[in-house]
Amino acid sequence: MLGGYGVSDFRPWISWLNKFNGLDQKIEKCFKGLDNLYDRVIEEHLDLKRPKPEHEDLFDVLLRVQNDPSQTIVLTSDQALTSDQIKRVLTVCCIFFLLAFEDMVPGADTSTATLVWTMVELIRNPRALSKAQDEVREVLKGKQVVEESDLPKLMHLELVMKESFRLHPPVPLLVPRETLQSCMIEGFEISANTMVFVHAKMIRNDPKCWENPKEFLPERFMDSSIDYKGNHFELLPFGARMRGCPGINFGVKLIELALANLLYCFDWELPHGVRIEDLDMGEATGLVVPWPKLAMDSQLLLLFVFLIPIIFLLLIKHRKKSTASQARRLPPGPRRLPLIGNLHKLSDGGLPHHVLERLAAKYGDLMFLQLGSVSTLVVSSSHMAREIFKTHDLIFSGRPALYIPKKLSYDCVNLTFAPYGDYWREVRKIVIFELLSAKRVQMFQSVRDEEVGLMLESIAHSKGPVNISELTLFLANNVVSRSAFGKKYDDGGEVGKSRIHELLEETRTLLGGYCVSDFLPWISWLNKFNGLDQKLEKCFKGLDNLYDRVIEEHLDPKRPKPEHEDLVDVLLRVQNDPSQTIALTNDQIKGVLTVCCIFFLLAFEHMLLNCYYDFFFFFRLLQRYCVGLIYIVSSFPNKLSFWSPIVV
């Protein structure tokens, strides 16, 4: 839901419609789910009987920061980091995890992804598959499995990863930015508070940047210094500069480790009768959802029936604003209608980035749209991306206040959706230097190695069909749970069982939806009637209760000291650290955890293909496992999700 838009974001004066269209209900449901989850986790971390962990998790860090008297940023003059603030930070971190992991792990009950994108591309290109397998098996000859320390030796695997990120960017539309002040771009006047979309998918398809852009050619990076970390504007899978994704290393390391082991331990073949050309690489809805044509039509109908007098007044106001805007030199764009601007263009159907791609092909790589009351800029070339991310990075570092993210992110206090300012800078510092630092990522190496090994062992000992989608989902869940919360919550022995992933998946899905009130804020009251507010409330309460439990467990004095801090340990430590300049609350910790977890899971899942039908891969186990032949079954949801809030 955090990745979605509502018409009220573009027409704030109709935000009341969200009370009737179900959006407010969805947000409230989601919020309560998260809040209950966080309360539970915090309670576990605060339990005096909790064993001291070997390494701090996110909750431990935030609780430490919470108790740190040196923190200088507080919500009020007499308030230190609260549990609510911890929850907000947790929300951000958990979304980070989920997003990062989506590159390789299929969603269990959504239409997001099902089989590794990279493996599908390799199977579609037997020569590339053979070359990748030859390298990993030659370099690691004699070893049982690939370890994380082996990855730097696999040079061709790095090329495969780069090409996969180029050909299948995790987010075709980066999370929108907002201008903090007016500026000039290529002679065009861009006003303050303009929403900005960067079309990463169009950039990766630009023939000016890439030869044969639609072909899978890892060798194109052989003598190239281009990377995917935001330093080169031809390749922006994770954004760039100030709002670039801080969790790249965590997600990519797990992706590389899992991919290397799948290449090393198994031979890959298509099942009998399935041809390479039968592989369906089509996209579908998930976090990328079609513009809400039907929902928008019904809500606008109510609007015109009951608010005709107001409409006439707004038309007069719009006429005056149009006269003023004509005096400015705006980038090219389609003709705008009264009140709705260009919203009708987006309701033509199709995925959002497809709609914008068609419009950009006609109006250019710097296109202006008027979405309701919100001025919008669409950037679709590396040259224009450089202008945004490098020349004017500070001016374009804001975030629009969207309806769903505001509801689910504790009033936009997490890293992804927080407005630019002192608070955002301090939270970013905590995330970069405490939660997702190179040292912290290295601490979790044993977790990644162990969980990947368990996945391979499970496959190797199977005597029948294996659901690879389910296995990789368990891998992502376990790594996220152990890294963020200090233990597994989905192993069947804990109260949380599969609830964590369900809540994070529901949150991610809601974030990918669209809210009419984002464009027309004055109809947001409809969200109370269309079920959206109820869904948001349920989702929020579920996560919040879980986080409360986790925090409580981490604060338990009887909790054994862990070998390494998990993310909760880190956040709780930061919370209690007097030298910190920000006083985190429990809600902020929850917000960070949510974003981190969702980020990692999504980035891990993204490299999975989704098809229009169930698809079977035929795997031949190598002799080291000595269990013969098995089929790996991947149950595909309908299509692939592309757009998700991976960038902060």
User: How far is residue 322 CA from its own chain's centroid?
Assistant: 36
What's the token pair of residue 108?
A: 């269990």
The conformation of residue 434, written as its DSSP 8-state character, comes to I
For 245-271, letters b (16+ CB in 10 Å) and e give bbbbbbbbbbbbbbbbbbbbbbebebe
Pairwise CA distance, residues 432 & 440, whole Å: 10
User: Regarding beta strands 608-609 and 115-116, do their DSSP bridges make them parallel or antiparallel, or are they unpaired?
Assistant: antiparallel
What's the start-to-end Cα distance of the chain, in Å? 15
Question: Facing residues of 379 across strands?
Answer: 198, 366
Residue 531 backbone dihedrals phi, psi, to 5 degrees: 95, -10
Question: Facing residues of 177 across strands?
Answer: 196
Pairwise CA distance, residues 554 & 197, whole Å: 39
Residue type, 243: R
C-alpha closest to that of 203 among 243, 173, 164, 163: 173
Neighbouring CB atoms inside 10 A of 175's CB total: 25
The SS3 of residue 523 is coil
User: Regarding beta strands 177-178 and 195-198, do their DSSP bridges make them parallel or antiparallel, or are they unpaired?
Assistant: antiparallel
Spell out the alpha helix ranges (H) of 370-437: 382-386, 403-408, 422-430
What's the token pair of residue 322?
A: 């149009």
To the question of whether residue 93 is assigned a binding role by annotation, the answer is no
Tally the residues of the chain. 648
Pairwise CA distance, residues 544 & 87, whole Å: 7
The SS3 of residue 461 is coil
Contact present, 517 and 9 (Cβ < 8 Å)? yes
Pairwise CA distance, residues 526 & 549, whole Å: 33
Residues 6+ apart with CB under 8 A from 64: 56, 569, 570, 571, 572, 573, 574, 575, 576, 577
Pairwise CA distance, residues 168 & 225, whole Å: 19
Q: Is 273 left (phi over 0), alpha (psi -120 to 50) or beta?
A: left
Looking from the CA of 648 toward its CB, the CA atoms found within 13 Å total 36
C-alpha closest to that of 71 among 412, 415, 549, 571: 571
Contact present, 536 and 33 (Cβ < 8 Å)? no
Contact present, 89 and 63 (Cβ < 8 Å)? no
What's the token pair of residue 384?
A: 């224009």
User: How far is residue 250 CA from its own chain's centroid?
Assistant: 14
C-alpha closest to that of 517 among 20, 73, 3: 20
What's the token pair of residue 201?
A: 């998918």
* Residue 346: C-alpha distances to residues 131, 293, 381, 384, 520 (Å): 43, 8, 21, 22, 14
Contact present, 245 and 98 (Cβ < 8 Å)? no
Pick out the residues of the known binding site.
Answer: 245
Residue set of the binding site for heme: 245
